[in-house]
Amino acid sequence: MLGIAIGATAILLFGGYKSNINYSMQTAYVRTGGHLQIQQRDYYMYGSGNPTAYGILNYERIIAELRADAELRHMISMVTPTLQFNGIAGNYSAGVSRTIIGNGIVAADQVKLRLWNPYELHLDTPELRLAKSAGDAAMVGLGLARVLHLCEALHLTDCPQQERPAAAPDGRNIPSDVAALSLLEADARPNTSGATQAAEPARRIELLTSNPRGAPNVVSLNVINAESQGFKEFDEIYVVLHLQQAQKLVYGAQRPKVTSIIIQLRDSQMTGSAKARIESKLSRLLQDETLVVRDYAFLNPFYVQSTQMFDTIFGFMFILIGGIVMFTVSNTMNTTVVERTVEIGTLRAIGLRRSGIRLMFVLEGALLGLAGAIFGLIVALGTAVVINHLDLHWLPPGSASPVPLELSVWGETAMIVGTTCGLILMATISAWWPAYRAARLNVVDALRHV
């Protein structure tokens, strides 16, 4: 029984760890990209080359229809548009530049997206400073701030900075066409930040991009903050700004578009039904546009691969511990048969059938499995409570900051029932062969056993 209990404890604790990782990753992806996204059909496969070529024109109408739908109203928590584009960001006072991926967002909506936490995880929710900033404000990845030499200007303590390369003070290392556009943009931009003009250039960057037809455009942005994005490759190219500023930069006087419409639901279990409903509405509303609805699992293959990896490890661990349980129970029951040989002979002599002998030993194995599984469950729940109150943290792959190390055992009904039933079944099966041997004993030889 103790062997089964230890095995049950190990399985449940690792299962709780796996569940917590799944919930943490899912929460992180849903907070940034929602459960569903409406995109042009080929945007996912080819949009990285020229995202603005896959813009959604009637996005405001789509958002209004989704919010007004009676069936979707109780499912949807937030609907917000985003615009992704490629470009070059430069801090020309430092003589550095970098290709980037820009993202225009509605900052107030993003603040609400970051509050999604149905699993009640103890996660830190960083403040989105862009929500309380001027129209020319921008946020960058921590790696991009390092590359563009903005660490000192942004007062970043965890941003190592090398010595700046010498830059010509007269601006000779600024391309003439970009410099002219930047000067025009600077002359036309009012000073609404409240800061002095002398301190302002220290954190300003020039962002160059092109519209869908290839015409260049540039804007000067005031970087107000830097956030780590977890992955170094993405951290060094990430720029986020206000949606209106991004639309003005990309589309100019043309009718603005967005590349995605993010839909966050109240519960992840509603993803399938909400997706089917939205697809039905889109087919009726916009028959001339090739729009598709992508869920967060499709858009984030790393999440799917990670959960599959942990599921595989959990399955392997369950089989390994189950094999140990079967060996332990079988060995114990074989010893029991030897020790009870005389009793078995006596029972057979007074008329108990062989099936009765088999049933007795099989039931004993099942009871051992049940008692061990329940005892292991109690130990696992107690251990999980202790670990969850120790305030431990760890840095998972792809996370920008350490997250609490917690074990989600309580509430995982499927895992608890599956583990308990699995161990009982293994204990019962492992008791069958000793039971069969006991039933086949000769009555006279069993009574003479010493």
Cα dihedral across residues 76, 77, 80, 86: positive or negative:
negative
Q: Are residue 322 and residue 196 in the same domain, yes or no?
A: no
3-state SS, residue 50: coil
Q: What is the pLDDT of residue 328?
A: 84
Domain annotation covers residue 111: yes
Could you tell me the sign of the dihedral formed by the alpha carbons of 270, 275, 280, 286, in that order?
positive
pLDDT exceeds 60 at position 389: yes
Residue 417's domain comprises 2-13+304-447
Whether residues 258 and 120 fall in one domain: yes
Task: Indicate if the pLDDT at residue 399 is higher than 70.
Answer: no
Q: Looking at 63-67, 211-215, 285-289, 438-442, which range is the least confident one?
A: 285-289
Beta-bridged to residue 440, according to DSSP, are none
With a pLDDT cut of 70, the percent of the chain lying above it is: 88
Task: Tell me: do 345 and 231 sit in the same domain.
Answer: no
- Segment 78-88 shows an average pLDDT of 94
pLDDT of residue 121: 84
Query: Domain boundary at 233, 254, 289, which?
Result: 289
What's the rounded mean pLDDT across residues 16-20? 91
Q: How sure is the predictor about 125, in pLDDT bands with cuts at 50, 70 and 90? A: confident
Q: Is residue 47 part of a domain?
A: yes
Return the pLDDT at 81. Answer: 96
268 assigned to some structural domain: yes
Note whether residue 19 is domain-resident: no
- How far CA 401 is from CA of 245, 352, 396, 398, in Å, comes to 29, 67, 8, 9
CA distance 401 to 385: 23
Considering the domain architecture, whether residues 63 and 163 belong to the same structural domain is answered as yes
Count Cβ atoms within 10 A of the Cβ of residue 300 and give its class: 0-12 exposed, 13-18 middle, 19 or more buried: buried
pLDDT above 90 covers a percentage of the chain that reads 38
Per residue in 157-205, pLDDT (tens digit) is: 777 766 655 544 454 555 555 555 544 454 544 444 444 444 444 588 9
Instruction: Give every CB contact of residue 115 below 8 A, 6+ residues apart in sequence.
Output: 125
User: Quick check: 169 and 247 in contact, CB under 8 A?
Assistant: no
Same domain, 275 and 163: yes
User: Does residue 250 sit within a domain?
Assistant: yes
Average pLDDT of the chain?
84
Residues 103 and 195 in one domain: yes
Residue 162 lies in a domain: yes
pLDDT digits (tens, 9 = 90+) for 36-67: 999 998 898 888 888 888 889 889 999 999 99
Indicate whether 334 and 259 sit together in one domain.
Answer: no
Residue 380 has pLDDT above 60, yes or no: yes
Pair 284, 373 in one domain:
no
For residues 183 and 179, give the distance between their C-alpha atoms in angstroms, rounded to a whole number.
6
Distance, in Å, from the CA atom of 180 to the CA atom of 186, rounded to the nearest integer, reads 10
User: Is 37 inside a domain boundary?
Assistant: no
404 is a domain residue: yes
Residue 105: strand pairing partners: 82, 242
pLDDT-derived band of residue 357, with 50, 70 and 90 as boundaries? confident
Query: pLDDT of 224-265, one tens digit each?
Result: 998 888 777 888 899 999 999 999 999 887 889 999 999 999
Asked which of 236, 258, 289 is the last residue of a domain, the reply is 289
Number of domains in the chain: 2
pLDDT-based confidence at residue 449 (cuts at 50, 70, 90): low
For residue 181, which amino acid is it?
Answer: L
Does the model's pTM come out above 0.85?
Answer: no
Give the confidence band of 382 by pLDDT, cuts at 50, 70, 90: very high
Same domain? For 374 and 442 the reply is yes
Would you call 413 helix, strand, or coil by DSSP?
helix
CA dihedral 56, 58, 61, 64 (to 10 degrees): 20
pLDDT at 14 over 70: yes
Give the mean pLDDT of 306-310.
Answer: 91
**Regarding beta strands 36-40 and 291-295, do their DSSP bridges make them parallel or antiparallel, or are they unpaired?**
antiparallel
Report the run of H or E that residue 328 belongs to, with start and end. helix 301-339
Residues 320 and 278 in one domain: no
Same domain as 335, residue 430? yes
Residues 313 and 374 in one domain: yes
Average pLDDT on 208-214 reads: 80
Nearest to 365 by CA among 343, 342, 332: 332
Residue with tokens 């225009």: 104
pLDDT of 165 reads 52
Are 27 and 117 spatial neighbours (Cβ–Cβ below 8 Å)? yes
Among 289, 316, 345, where does a domain finish? 289
Contact present, 218 and 189 (Cβ < 8 Å): no
**pLDDT score of 277 more than 50:** yes
